[in-house]
Amino acid sequence: MKRAPRQRGKFNLRGRMMLVACTLGLCSVALVGRAAYVQLVNADFYQRQGEARFVREIPIPTSRGMITDRNGEPLAVSTPVESIWANPQELLRYPERLPELAKALDVPLDQLASRLSQRADKEFVYLKRRINPDQARAILAHNIPGVFSQREFRRFYPQGEAMAHVLGFTNIDDRGQEGLELAFDEWLRGKPGAKRVIRDRHGRIVENIDLIRPAEPGKDLTLSIDRRIQFLAYRELRNALATHKASSGSAVVLDVATGEILAMVNLPSYNPNAVTGHNPDARRNRAVTDLVEPGSTMKPITVAAALTAGTARLDTRVDTSPGYMALGRFTIRDHHNYGVLDVTGIITKSSNLGSVKLSEPLSAQFFYDFIRRFGYGSAPQSGFPGEAAGVVLPPSRWNGLTKATMSYGYGLSATALQVAQAYAALGNHGRLITPTFVKGQINEARQVVAPEIADAVVRMMQTVTEPGGTATQAAILGYHVAGKTGTSRQAAAGGYSRRYTTLFAGLVPATNPRFATVVVINDPQGGAYYAGLVAAPVFRAVMEDTLRLMDVPPDDIETWLAAQAKGEAKRQAALPPLPPPLEEDPYDAAIPAAMPGVGDGGEP
């Protein structure tokens, strides 16, 4: 029996079209809603996500301020260099390019691979810093993915070792590490800028979006240092250390009237353009950090103290016979038995006994306070990092010998800069000025001793460099020189060793001092160790050229003229005698003076 065929339902095209239209409409509404949510409601989130992938904030490097000497000559300048960096995430996707990159960088392949693998999750790592721009271009020319360069600055010191201890140096990030680079780091450094850019996937800048912060270059710094005097002091100190086989030395030159430091050198030195970790001792600025017992350079201060207290006058006479004296269980000696000396003679002959006897009537507190007035026992406040204050014990810690030994420079310690500051005060009519490394900086002067006493002591010190004094090798032709030698034994465990420190402190021209100079040489081993033979010649050599460079007129014309006349006489005496006059030719005598062709050049 056949079944009846099932009847098909009627096809509803209209209904289906409505369903499709409704579905598409709902999808459109959803898309529009999603777009509105993304672009309006949650726009900031997606903006940040996009920027995180393409927008970068990069620094704008700025150059460090230039340091110049007092005449505008550059002492420290910043030169543009390039630093090579990489994005490890991108670079490590091409390991086959690493050998090529290592060769271009001139580094071992295993070292490069290890550095990158340790920072595989980072987007930035330095590969080689502060190289010549030509070298950087050669590396980038390999077109290795993930390798880029950026501009930086590197410090350069044209004067090299001669200025190393004063200037110091900067680290790889151009931050001051020592010396004036550290002291004035905030002033010199400037402030790097920043800008927002769009980078492509290769790290190249596609577009500059915004300047976030403009770069502020560092400020220039003009020092009180004179490059020419600095080099003179460095050269002469180096020659002296070589001649006398000394271990180290320092020299300081001050402008008496202003306290400006015109030169400060130390040896051994180092190259600030290539600082290494070897021999860090050579990087120490000994002139402001190393303490020495000033020895006989203290005797003018002792004389000034006695004159100020009224316990001595200019005509006071002191008996130093027989050249030694017992003080407790110790014996104080002079180099010779100088007999009876006046106050000037104590300085001229550098008598230890004379200084001790001048100090005896002084109260301990007065003598201590008087020494402190000249800056001993206090940091000079020049602004240099790590200045030493020196040691001057208060009277409460003195023993029976302290005052006596301090009178001739033992039992206290000071730096070369402190000694120079004290002598500058004597040369400045008793006014002490804080030393400075900055040209034009005006520091207040303090009257530490009466002008007439300071001037009298300077006149006394003038005899030290004249015949009969202990430092005739410090004399400068045409100028009066006031100074004082100091030779002190170096302290050792349990007492003093047989090693010496030699000092010479001087003022020139003595009649109106312009410069105060101190030379310190440690441990001379060349046979001579007295300051008059070791340190004084350095003073003379430096000051001779300094006086000429600074156009300081002579104040001893008579001696200069006498020396010139003596030299001319010696020169004339050394000339060979003149030959006897030739006999007159009778033929020449017979020729009339006006004969044509002979006498007046006319034609014959």
What pairs with residue 80 in β-bridges?
Answer: 153
Q: Is 78 a catalytic site residue?
A: no
Burial of 316 (0-12, 13-18, 19+ CB in 10 A): middle
**Residue 503 · residue 531 · CB < 8 Å:** yes
φ/ψ of residue 333, rounded to 5: -130, 155
Strand ranges inside 388-513, DSSP E: 431-433, 445-447, 482-492, 495-508
User: What string of DSSP letters covers 231-261?
Assistant: HHHHHHHHHHHHHHT-SEEEEEEEETTT-BE
Q: Which one, of 470, 483, 484, 520, lies nearest residue 500 by Cα? A: 520
What pairs with residue 326 in β-bridges?
Answer: 331
φ/ψ of residue 251, rounded to 5: -145, 140
CA dist 116 and 92 (Å) reads: 8
Residue 174, Ramachandran bin (φ over 0: left; ψ between -120 and 50: alpha; else beta)? left
Sign of CA dihedral 15, 17, 19, 21: negative
Active-site residue, selected from the candidate residues 224, 250, 296, 382: 296
3-class SS of residue 579? coil
Our CA angle for 307, 310, 313, nearest 5°, is 55
* Axis-axis angle for helices 536-549, 227-244 (nearest 10): 160
φ/ψ of residue 218, rounded to 5: -65, 155
CA dist 355 and 334 (Å) reads: 11
Structure-token match 């726009």, residue found:
43
Structure-token match 């006319």, residue found:
602
**Residue 364 · residue 395 · CB < 8 Å:** yes
Q: What is the largest CA-CA distance in the chain?
A: 185
Amino acid (1-letter code) at residue 445: A
What pairs with residue 52 in β-bridges?
Answer: none
3-class SS of residue 112? helix
Alpha-carbon separation of residue 255 from 184, 187, 251, 550, 568 (angstroms): 22, 25, 14, 11, 35
Active site residues: 296
